[in-house]
Structure 1
């Protein structure tokens, strides 16, 4: 629980150091003077109401680096006020109040705060294994047998596993390696897709060299011998402010989750850049398609012309691995395809 003194949230400090973008901040054409936060709002949705570019949220709040990673929580019932001519002439957002009131102390849980992006879309992916990095399978817990010698196991069936020590965690995810992720430009192997099969619950710890016994509590895909187990971590509350990377990041979409050929709004994609490239939680990248080269013959002379790249969408990074990151498509005016470019907007 967090203790909040409401009188202190009437406005945010304007003395915070923040790197300003060279381009002026543009408001959305129908930006309101204020917005009352309601259940179901997201930071992205509110930012889109006020700003032409929602990823410039930290700038209109004057957030420094630490506050970007741990921003002020915003709760249903609070009022966001737009100051159209804030510090330095740039617009600024502040927290206001509906009525004048005496300062008072009240309590709200962090989980009551509005999230950065729609939680129902990404929550299953915040704890599930998504990427298997090279060497990661060595020593992993593994299914060695199923209940009554079944070829495959589903919900309610038993699994027997090796590699689980004592004391053994109670809840587990079951997965297997899938498609290899390769950088489309360099052919470097970035990792392997982790195909989520289901969840299992510990029912009996191993005794000596015996196998550990588990029960399948959720089956998405049939589970068999050789499949891997990973401790089911509690999903992290994703509250990072949406923002553009400070450095130039450029990569490609390497996969669309679910094995489909194209993606749209609120689809999940994997990109060919990760921690080593400076990608962070909350980064917003633009999606574009490389312009084609067309050849025409005019006056018996062939001429080739390269068409410009076309930016057509935005994505929000919600999970980052060493060489790969997963992102949610937030805006898209055309189908998103594998090998489309993602880069700092």
Structure 2
């Protein structure tokens, strides 16, 4: 299944406000770098900057090309400083012959992208986070023209819903609940694409007539109650992202990882309990923080709460319930949170969002905080 957004995403870009953070070049940054196949602008900027998401500032002045995205494997990049002392990356015209207005030899569509788009593609095309109430209002599968668990291309499925004739619809399955750890509220359901089909017979729910959809692509078993959405709903993202830190304070939590692993790292994708209702937008950069463990300092000396024996834990829980210290000789030290990484939000729903980990000093875990102080 092909989506027009992927072509647009090859122009994946970002702009910064004029008063961006001051750029600091790494001490070991090279004066020149030759672009390799597989590089991204993010990777290259990470060679020069502690904060790769500031890459548009690094590329602000480029006398050879108007679009910093249009660099290619084999190009040599030089680090220079403008008249104000600001660092800039430019294509080294002495290394490869360039025209002042463009390249002499067209290079097709192999320009270096901002981020490895293949990592994001499944979460643009195949997964969505949708409110349960919204799912309940969608048209859904009643059955098929054959009594089989594995429908294939060419089979017909019948749908309860008034669908648009000849339109293409994506069929999704309701999956894992995304739960807010603070309130235990179900924020949304993860949904996965199972098939795509085209309507050839309109339905009439009022008169008990199902819509008929011919399957064009099938990814997995289609089940009764799987629901339908227009194929492009939720698929479109802006071709240009305004990558920046939010103007307001943000206090969220990583509530899930799409990998299902216990720990994850740079370029892994996570789910946050933050969405448009919390003023989160695509392109927001947030810090990842982790709560340092609580320490009890008492007669036996400092110890972590987790290292207490069973009796101490029982007494502690009882005293904490009543708002008291663990015992009269013990002081509780509540340690601060510490930064362990950064992430970039790339897809936003009402109360949840998908984000890409772009930097980490330690393995990232579910329960870590996504914040701007």
What is the TM-score normalised by the length of structure 1? 0.77
Match of 1:296 in 2: 297
Take 2:134 and 2:106, find their aligned partners in 1: how far apart are those partners? Answer: 39
Per the alignment, do residues 223 and 100 of structure 1 end up closer, same or farther by CA in structure 2, a change over 3 Å counting? closer
Match of 2:323 in 1: none
What is the RMSD of the two structures over their aligned residues, measured on CA atoms? 3.4
1:138 to partner: Cα distance: 4.9
Q: Deviations over 1:128-176 (max 9, x none)?
A: 34111354225423111034223x3344454222325233323x43222
280-289 or 207-216, which deviates more = 207-216
Match of 1:133 in 2: 131
- SS of the aligned residue for 1:130 comes to strand
Per the alignment, do residues 130 and 108 of structure 1 end up closer, same or farther by CA in structure 2, a change over 3 Å counting? farther
Q: Which residues of structure 2 form unaligned runs of 5+?
A: 1-15, 62-66, 302-328
Aligned residues between the structures? 317
Decide which of 195, 200, 205 is 2:201's aligned counterpart. 205
Decide which of 44, 55, 69 is 1:57's aligned counterpart. 55
Assess if the C-alpha contact under 8 Å between 1:162 and 1:212 holds in 2: no
Match of 1:19 in 2: 19
Decide which of 360, 363, 366 is 1:332's aligned counterpart. 360
Match of 1:319 in 2: 347
Take 1:109 and 1:242, find their aligned partners in 2: how far apart are those partners? Answer: 27
1:230 to partner: Cα distance: 2.2
1:96 to partner: Cα distance: 4.5
Assess if the C-alpha contact under 8 Å between 2:298 and 2:331 holds in 1: yes
After TM superposition, list the pairs within 5 Å mapping 1:1-345 onto structure 2: 18-21=18-21, 24-62=22-60, 72-77=68-73, 78-83=75-80, 85-86=81-82, 88-97=84-93, 98-99=95-96, 101-104=98-101, 112-133=110-131, 135-150=133-148, 152-156=149-153, 157-163=155-161, 165-170=163-168, 172-194=169-191, 196-202=192-198, 204-206=200-202, 209-215=209-215, 217-220=217-220, 222-233=221-232, 236=237, 240=241, 242-298=243-299, 301-344=329-372
Take 1:132 and 1:17, find their aligned partners in 2: how far apart are those partners? Answer: 32
Take 1:26 and 1:285, find their aligned partners in 2: how far apart are those partners? Answer: 19
Take 2:113 and 2:43, find their aligned partners in 1: how far apart are those partners? Answer: 10
Assess if the C-alpha contact under 8 Å between 2:160 and 2:203 holds in 1: no
Assess if the C-alpha contact under 8 Å between 1:158 and 1:216 holds in 2: no
246-255 or 102-111, which deviates more = 102-111
Per the alignment, do residues 129 and 17 of structure 1 end up closer, same or farther by CA in structure 2, a change over 3 Å counting? closer
Q: Look at both structures and tell me which one has the larger radius of gyration over its CA atoms.
A: 2
